Structure 1
Amino acid sequence: MPNHTSLTPNSLPPNSLAPNTILLAGASGGIGSALLGELEKEYPQATILTISRRDLATDTGNHSHLTASLADPKSVGKVTEWLRQKPLPNWVINCCGTLHWLSHGQSHGKSHAPEKSLGQCTDDALLQSVATNVLTHLHLAQGFAPLIQRREPLTWVSLSAEVGSIEDNRLGGWYSYRMSKAALNMLVRNLAIEWARKVDHCRVVAVHPGTTDTPLSQPFQENIPAGKLYSPAQTAGRMVSVIRGLREEDHGKLLFWDGTPIPW
Structure 2
Amino acid sequence: MNQPDNSPPACILVAGASGGLGVALCRELIARFPRATLLTVSRGEVQLAPTQSHLKTNLSDPESVAATAQWLQSQPLPNWVINCCGTLHWDGHLPEKNLLQCTDEALLRSISVNVLSHLHLAQALSPQLRRQSPLTWASLSAKVGSIEDNGLGGWYSYRMSKAALNMLVRNLSIEWGRKLDSCRVVAVHPGTTDTALSKPFQKNIAVDKLYAPALSAERVVSVIAGLQDSDTGKLLFWDGTTIHW
Aligned residue in 2 for 1:77:
66
Are 1:185 and 2:166 matched, yes or no?
yes
What CA distance in whole angstroms lies between the structure 1 residues aligned with 2:52 and 2:162? Answer: 30
Aligned-pair identity (%)? 65
Tell me if the contact between 2:6 and 2:226 (Cα under 8 Å) persists in the aligned partners: no
Partner residue in 2 for 1:174: 155
Determine helix, strand or coil for the equivalent of 1:19: coil
The alignment of Structure 1 onto Structure 2 pairs a total of residues equal to 245
Give the unaligned 5+ runs of structure 2. none
Query: What amino acid is aligned across from residue 40 of structure 1 in structure 2?
Result: I
Show the counterpart of 1:5: none
Aligned to 2:18, what secondary structure does the other structure show?
coil
Structure 1 segment 243-254 matched on structure 2, within 5 A: 243-254=224-235
CA contact (8 A) 1:58 1:65 kept: no
Tell me if 1:215 matches 2:207.
no
Q: Separation in 1 of the partners of 2:208 and 2:105?
A: 35
Question: TM-score, normalised on structure 1?
Answer: 0.91
Match of 1:149 among 122, 130, 145: 130
Query: What is the match of residue 34 of structure 2?
Result: 44
Aligned to 2:6, which of 7, 15, 19? 15
- Please state how far the C-alpha of 1:246 moved relative to its aligned partner: 0.4
Question: What SS does the corresponding residue of 1:206 show, helix, strand or coil?
Answer: strand
Which string of whole-angstrom CA distances, capped at 9 and with x for unpartnered residues, describes residues 187-209 of structure 1? 00000000000000010000000
2:228 and 2:102 map into 1 onto residues whose CA distance is 39
- Match of 1:202? 183
CA deviation vs aligned residue, 1:164-184 (integer Å, no higher than 9, x gap)? 000000000000000000000
Q: What is the aligned partner in structure 2 of residue 106 from structure 1?
A: none
Conserved in 2, the CA contact under 8 Å of 1:58 and 1:64? Answer: no
Q: CA deviation at 1:226?
A: 2.9
* 1:124-165 CA distance string (max 9 Å, x none): 000000000000000000000000000000000000000000
- Residue 158 (str. 1) matches residue 150 (str. 2): no
Structure 1 unaligned segments of length 5 or more: list them.
1-8, 103-110
TM-score (norm 2): 0.98
Q: Is the 8 A contact 1:70 1:139 kept in 2?
A: yes
CA–CA distance in structure 1, aligned partners of residues 243 and 9 of structure 2: 26
Deviation at 1:15, TM superposition (A): 2.9
- Which amino acid letter does the alignment assign opposite residue 87 of structure 1? P
Deviation per CA, 1:204-225: give whole Å up to 9, x if none: 0000000000010011011112
The 4+ residue runs of structure 1 with deviation greater than 2 A are none
Judge conservation of contact 2:26–2:48 (CA < 8 Å) in 1. no
Q: Distance in 1 between matches of 2:224 and 2:48?
A: 24
The residue type equivalent to 2:148 in the other structure is E
The structure with the greater share of residues assigned to helix is 2
Q: Does 1:114 align with 2:103?
A: no
Q: CA RMSD in A?
A: 0.8
Aligned to 1:6: none
Deviation track 1:79-111 (CA, whole Å, cap 9, x = no partner) reads 111010011001000000000003xxxxxxxx1
